[in-house]
Each structure stands twice: as C-alpha cells, then as structure tokens.
Amino acid sequence: MLSTTPRTTLNRAKDKARTSREDLYAVLDAGLVCHLGVVSRGFPMVVPTGYGRIDDTLYLHGSTGATSLRDADEVCVTVTHLDGIVLARSSFNHSVNYRCAMVYGRVRRVEDPEEHLAALRAITEQLAPGQWEAARKPTRKELAATMVLALSLEEASVKVRQGPPVDEDEDYELPIWAGVLPLHQSWGAPEPDPALTAGLAVPEHIASRTMPAPPEMPAANLPL
C-alpha cells in the first residue's frame, strides 16, 4: 500500500486515488521524463529530467554543475501521462484522462560507485531498453561529471482519471457532442546519425519499438 501522509492524502477528487504500490510502479515505469521540483537559492524550480527506478528507489541524474541538483534536498518529483481530452457539454466540466504519480522526500546523493553505475543503467534502460548493453560504457571522467540522486518511494501518491465526461443532469439533453478524444504515443522510424558508419543496421531493441505506418486512406474517403 502507498503511504498516507499529509502530503499524499487527497483532499479533492478522492475517487481518483490509487493506493497500491503496483499502481505507482506502473505509472513510473511507463514514463520517459519526470519533473523535479526543488527550492534553489530561495526560489522554486521545476526541471524536466530523465529517471530510472530500481525497486523502491527513484534515480535522477544530471551534470555535477547543475544548480537544481546541487541544491536539491527536500524535493517533489512528478510523472504524468496524458491519455485523452474529455470534452463535456459544458466548458466547466471539461477534463483530461490521465495517470499521475507524485513522490516526496529528501534526496540522497549517490556516492557508491556500484550504485552510481547501476542507477545510470536504470536511467538509460528507462528511455531505451537494451541500450545499456549496446552502447559504450561511461568512462571515469564521464562518471565523475555525472551526479546521481536517489529518492525513496516511501512517500508517494497516484491519481488516475479515466472514462467519459461527467455533466450536470440538466445538460445531458443539450444537442452538444460530448466524449473523449484519446491521445496515443508511438515511436516513428529511427533516423540514422549522418555520421553513422556505413552498413550498420538499426539494432533490434530499437527497431522493435517502432510501429508500422498506418495504411494510406483512399482518396475518396479523405476527410474534408
């Protein structure tokens, strides 16, 4: 079960709360970028960054010169998936379908070399599963220039909204279209680096993530 603290307890829309750790893992594992919220030099700052998860620890990385990472102490990290726009009969009841995780806590700077490397592997694999084994490993100089922060998933909350619009009872008879405009994310065809060595094929772990292009719509059926 997820933690229940003053920061993770929902005061509104409590029906959207999810309470299992599996729900938290599902939202985090499906994401590519998180937003790290910190107070840096007295001002709030929200920074998009890559991340990775190992068990109940979230890892974030960046340059050792990054102010947001150097000043990070108590933080809030969010991951959000937008699944669709919910169009209601009234503008007041418009909404979105989404999955969102929010994690609070005090970050820990990773100093142990083995954990540091494992965290970078997790972050790389979050973006492109299989890429860690395919790419050159970091050098000592590169590792020294990369800061990794660890954040426990002990204090976290998950909210999910799915389904059709919810209108006022008197609005359901209005002659206004209502429903959901789904949003789907897919990968395009890989684009080779212009400096790529001739004859190198796209690796299977990358090619397998792309979706075939949808068939062309017959001219007679093209929308106006």
Is the per-residue pLDDT at 50 higher than 60? yes
pLDDT band at 221 (very low <50, low <70, confident <90, very high): very low
Tens of pLDDT, residues 61-117: 999 999 888 889 999 999 999 999 999 999 999 999 999 999 999 999 999 999 999
Number of domains in the chain: 1
CATH number at residue 35: 2.30.110.10
The CA-atom distances, in angstroms, between 129 and each of 123, 142, 149, 180 are 10, 21, 21, 31
Give CA–CA dist 81/50, Å, rounded.
15
Residue 68: what pLDDT?
Answer: 84
Residue 219: what pLDDT?
Answer: 37
Give CA–CA dist 154/184, Å, rounded.
30
In a domain, 7, yes or no: no
In a domain, 224, yes or no: no
Domain that holds residue 54: 14-212
In a domain, 6, yes or no: no
In a domain, 138, yes or no: yes
pTM: 0.88
Residue 224: what pLDDT?
Answer: 32
In a domain, 2, yes or no: no
Span 39-58, average pLDDT: 94
In a domain, 4, yes or no: no
In a domain, 167, yes or no: yes
Question: Among 35-49, 64-78, 190-204, 206-220, which is the least confidently predicted range?
Answer: 206-220
